[in-house]
Amino acid sequence: MTDRYAVIGNPIGFTKSPFIHGTFADATGQDLSYEAIEAPLGDFAGRVDQFRAEGAKGLNVTAPFKLDAFVYATELSDSAKQAGAVNCLKFEGDRIIAENFDGVGLVRDITVNLGVTMKGRRVLMLGAGGAARGALLPFLRQQPSELVLVNRTLSKAVALAEEFAGRGPLIVSGYAGLADLAEGYDIVVNATSASLRGEMPPVPGNVFQGAKLAYELAYGKGLTPFLRAARAERVAKLADGVGMLVEQAAEAFVWWRGVRPSTAEVIAKLTVPLS
């Protein structure tokens, strides 16, 4: 019997997940189906209850339901607890087991696909929203020499840093404080929503000085203002979030099916040239 999986969100028409997981299944010989579900706003639990009743095995969760999934789960992984959000569910009888693979997928894309070491490096994270929250613990586990978290509303970054106190060298700053840097960062990650609006986070050019990687979490947008600024400062490598998207999907696939799919071909097919 074919096992059923899906991604749930609202809206959901943009999702690449059915293509990604369908490709993974074909490549690994897994007997599964994967669909997209647009759940009504305000009735996440009801729609997932229906899917489970139909015999579903698992579910990817995207906006705006990651917090709903956090509440819906009966068991939360450490990653999900730290992120305060859930992007993947597994159903085993009455058990609803929750994970968050966003940060793990991002780290794998940076360290494996892009070949950039994070250990001992200075890392700058722009933004303190859900995307940054999910990435902080996986980033700190890579043992950077420092991880600087910057946000327009400094109090939000401070509150987030307090939750991760003792986990590693996490520093908080406002954008204005970056202007006084004596040197730039090795890795600069844009976890803000600025690029979705075609805007540039208010960072001075010196943050890119000597950087090995500028990473844009938004994907499929081409050369965003953030990446354009990094290119102007001659950053060695530029990347958008398509690799993160595929790698977090691969983590879910491993968790569900017990086999790790190759990601290179899928990333290549989904990559939009940075030009």
In the chain, % of residues over pLDDT 90:
82
Q: Are 150 and 257 contained in the same domain?
A: no
Task: Provide the pLDDT for residue 144.
Answer: 98
Q: Are 178 and 224 contained in the same domain?
A: yes
Inside any domain, residue 8 = yes
Task: Provide the pLDDT for residue 271.
Answer: 94
pLDDT tens profile 138-150: 999 999 999 999 9
* CATH number for 43: 3.40.50.10860
Q: What is the pTM of this model?
A: 0.93
Inside any domain, residue 275 = no
pLDDT tens profile 53-63: 999 999 999 98
**What is the rounded average pLDDT of the residues 60-86?**
93
Q: Are 233 and 200 contained in the same domain?
A: yes
Inside any domain, residue 116 = yes
Q: Are 79 and 20 contained in the same domain?
A: yes
Inside any domain, residue 221 = yes
Q: Are 111 and 181 contained in the same domain?
A: yes
Q: Are 266 and 166 contained in the same domain?
A: no
Catalytic residues: 66
Phi–psi pair at 70, nearest 5 degrees: -60, -45
How many other CB atoms are there within 10 angstroms of residue 128's CB atom? 25
What length does the chain have? Answer: 275
Q: How confident is the model at residue 182 (pLDDT cuts 50, 70, 90)?
A: low
- Asked whether the predicted pLDDT for residue 9 surpasses 80, the reply is yes
Task: Provide the pLDDT for residue 179.
Answer: 79
Q: Are 168 and 216 contained in the same domain?
A: yes
Phi–psi pair at 238, nearest 5 degrees: -120, 140
User: Which of 39, 42, 43 is closest to 15 using CA atoms?
Assistant: 39
Q: Are 222 and 250 contained in the same domain?
A: no
Inside any domain, residue 22 = yes
**What is the rounded average pLDDT of the residues 89-96?**
97
Q: How confident is the model at residue 257 (pLDDT cuts 50, 70, 90)?
A: very high
pLDDT, the chain, mean: 94
Domain residues for the domain of 193 are 103-240
Q: Mark out the alpha helices in the chain (DSSP H runs).
A: 17-28, 44-53, 66-72, 78-83, 102-108, 130-141, 154-163, 225-232, 242-257, 264-270
Inside any domain, residue 216 = yes
Task: Provide the pLDDT for residue 264.
Answer: 96
d(CA 194, CA 183): 24
Structural domain count of the chain: 2
Q: Are 147 and 53 contained in the same domain?
A: no
- Asked whether the predicted pLDDT for residue 196 surpasses 70, the reply is yes
What are the C-alpha distances in Å from 133 to residues 25, 142, 164, 206? Answer: 30, 15, 10, 25
Task: Provide the pLDDT for residue 131.
Answer: 85
Q: Are 42 and 107 contained in the same domain?
A: no
Task: Provide the pLDDT for residue 275.
Answer: 75
* CATH number for 226: 3.40.50.720
Q: Are 126 and 169 contained in the same domain?
A: yes
- Asked whether the predicted pLDDT for residue 194 surpasses 90, the reply is no
Task: Provide the pLDDT for residue 225.
Answer: 95
Inside any domain, residue 21 = yes
Q: Are 131 and 256 contained in the same domain?
A: no
Inside any domain, residue 200 = yes
Instruction: Identify the bridge partners of residue 6 per DSSP, sorted by sequence position.
Output: 35, 59
Which range, 11-15, 81-85, 96-100, 176-180, has the best average confidence (pLDDT)?
Answer: 96-100
pLDDT tens profile 203-247: 988 899 899 999 999 998 899 999 999 999 999 999 999 999 999
pLDDT tens profile 103-135: 999 999 999 999 999 999 999 999 998 888 889
